[in-house]
Structure 1
Amino acid sequence: MQSFLERASHWLALVCRVVAGIALVALLVVTIADVGTRYLSRLTEGAIALRVSGSVELVSYLMLCSLLAAMAANVEKSQVVVEAFSHGLAPGIKNRLQGVYLLGFAALGVVLFIGLLDSATAAARHGEVTQDLRLPMGPIYQAAAVLSLLLGLRSLIHALLGALFGAEGEMSHGE
């Protein structure tokens, strides 16, 4: 059971890292293109007036995806149980304490998932679109909901590994 949970967590983390990486690269491309076209316009005194439409909007949604995916990918590495409470405890007890702590993040991921899924349904029903690019908001909310679910799922896996097995947050086979 423990090795199954570790493997599942490993693969989910890999998917989340890929999503975060793609979103960050896309974010950089949009930002560089926007700054480059503005600079080109300034150099040519407006003779070449190319613009990246909706760049602020694109960057904000790409940032949302990259942050949620990165949080989900690194949940077991980024949560630190306050040392004042766990100082002097055995490593197994510290791992169990961290597992209990991660249950809160599992609940947070599920609450975010449910809320974002509800928002996606409402946005699709009412035809809600983004302000600048007029993109439908439903798929944006759905993507954020899936990433929130992955955050909750990985948190739950590591909560179980810590609370039930006393396993460390980071996997032993080197992620």
Structure 2
Amino acid sequence: MFVTLLRRISGPVEAACLLLGGLCLFYMVFVVAFNVLARIVFDATDTAVNLMIPGAIEQVSYLLGIIALAALAASLKEGMIAVDFVVERLPDLPRALVARFWFLGVVALALVLAWLFWEDALATHARGEETQDLRIPMFLIYGLYALQCLALAVIALREVFTADGHHAELL
């Protein structure tokens, strides 16, 4: 029953991570490409025309964190890509136990990161910190990072109970 509930919850969580990561990646590539072209126009017009997106470097740096956490959570679905010489030679049961132990470590790491990001969100909210260029409240960014780490923990917990030790690249 618990595993069924975990599977039912983790599916939409994975989809949300994939969607969030994809949207952020699309926007990040757009910002970088647009600013490269805008910089060419800026230089060609001797600084008369400035079409560059304000705070582009800041946007891209925070988006990269969102994308990395979203991709990590979404990548667990088919098992993480692994290069190992010992585990692949084990029988099925020990291989599954090693995989489940690995995912238990990912759950622990994700929960610790979620807790640390949540603490940062609370601290930056209390201090009223904002990003340098765009004045985005920092607690929103750290809060989103904390939610993404919780999503990673949920997905990894599902793998703790269901992983069979076969990696996607070995199938």
Shift of 1:81: 7.2
Q: 1:144 to 1:153 in 2, by over 3 A?
A: same
- Cα shift readout 1:39-78 (whole Å, capped 9, x = no counterpart): 1112222221222211111001111001100101112422
What TM-score, normalized to structure 2? 0.87
Contact 1:158 1:169 in 2 (8 A): no
Alignment of 1:11-160 (within 5 A): 11-76=12-77, 77-78=79-80, 80=82, 82-84=84-86, 86-160=87-161
Separation of aligned partners in 2, 1:123 and 1:26? 26
Q: Which amino acid aligns with 2:130?
A: V
Give me the CA root mean square deviation.
2.0
Distance 1:167 1:6, change over 3 A: farther
Partner SS, residue 83 of structure 1: coil
Find the aligned partners of 2:141 and 2:149 in 1 and give their Cα distance.
Answer: 12
Distance in 2 between the 1:12 and 1:49 partners? 40
Worse-superposed segment, 73-82 or 98-107: 73-82
In structure 1, distance between residues paired with 2:83 and 2:49: 55
Unaligned runs of 5+ in 1: 171-175
- Where does the alignment leave 5 or more consecutive residues of structure 2 unmatched? none
Equivalent position amino acid for 1:16 in 2: C
% same residue: 30
C-alpha distance after superposition, 1:113-133 (max 9, x if no partner)? 001001001101100111222
1:15-61 CA-partner distances (Å, limit 9, x unpaired) = 11001101101111111121121111122222212222111110011
Per the alignment, do residues 81 and 47 of structure 1 end up closer, same or farther by CA in structure 2, a change over 3 Å counting? Answer: closer
Counterparts of 2:48 and 2:89 in 1: how far apart (Å)? 68
Q: 1:95, 1:167 within 8 Å by CA — same for their partners in 2?
A: yes
Q: Distance in 1 between matches of 2:116 and 2:53?
A: 31
Change over 3 Å in CA distance of 1:61–1:112 after alignment to 2 = same
AA paired with 2:162? L
Q: What is the one-letter code of the residue matched to 1:26? A: Y
Contact kept? 1:103, 1:155, Cα under 8 Å:
yes
Q: Is the 8 A contact 1:37 1:50 kept in 2?
A: yes
Separation (CA, whole Å) in 2 of partners of 1:159 and 1:79: 16
